[in-house]
Chain A
Amino acid sequence: SQQGEEDPQALSIQEGENATMNCSYKTSINNLQWYRQNSGRGLVHLILIRSNEREKHSGRLRVTLDTSKKSSSLLITASRAADTASYFCAVYNQGGKLIFGQGTELSVKP
């Protein structure tokens, strides 16, 4: 399967700490995206990193991509209780599909 697989499956941290989530995939990709899902809601796009990029920032988010290792990481700095959600990576390949991983459930305790 070419889908992204997140690690860890669940992460619990205290407010103010950083949260790091990892994603691995199996095939070549055009880009990799991270989405967030609050419980029972739709997915919200966070950030897209293309296969020729190594790092990207957006506010408190930092994404890295290592195509040689077929892996990506999402770092949320100075986490807040409102960051509590599930985070999914998704990979797009030449097949024309955006495929999601299993997700990491992040819990940020106040």
Chain B
Amino acid sequence: EPEVTQTPSHQVTQMGQEVILRCVPISNHLYFYWYRQILGQKVEFLVSFYNNEISEKSEIFDDQFSVERPDGSNFTLKIRSTKLEDSAMYFCASSLQGGGEKLFFGSGTQLSVL
């Protein structure tokens, strides 16, 4: 069964450093998402992306965050200058259709900011 893959599974970085989290969505999917989950808390929406544009973003997704689909397969989340509070599990998801159809999630990247 096709799946969303995320790399790396765990990223450790120093505060103030830039990180790029990588995702390969399911190949025929058109809609892409990033969510994050701070340990023990709920899964929070960050951003949705369609047709090479951001469709929606949350208040968490400030100027420190950016997303890109650099080629036909990858979807990346960049955090320019990481803060301690950015430590979380980051999940990428994709869907074939928009409009709130079911999302397929990757296994996540655990980001630890020291």
Contact = CB atoms under 8 A, between A and B. Distances in A.
Contacts of A100: 35, 42-45
Interface stretch (B12-20, B64-72, B75-83, B99-107): B99-107
A33 B102 contact: yes
Interface in A1-31: 3, 30-31
Interface residues of A, number: 25
Interface string A69-110: 000000000000000000010001101111111110000000
A37 B48 CA distance: 21
B107 A96 contact: no
B19 to A, nearest CB: 19
Interface in B72-114: 89, 91, 93, 98-108
A92 B108 CA distance: 22
B43 A43 contact: yes
B99 to A, nearest CB: 7
Contacts, number: 59
Contacts of B27: none
A97 B104 contact: no
Interface of A: 3, 30-31, 33, 35, 37, 40-45, 48, 88, 92-93, 95-103
A101 B48 contact: no
A33 B95 CA distance: 14
B55 interface: yes
A45 B103 contact: yes
Contacts of A96: 48, 55-56, 98, 100
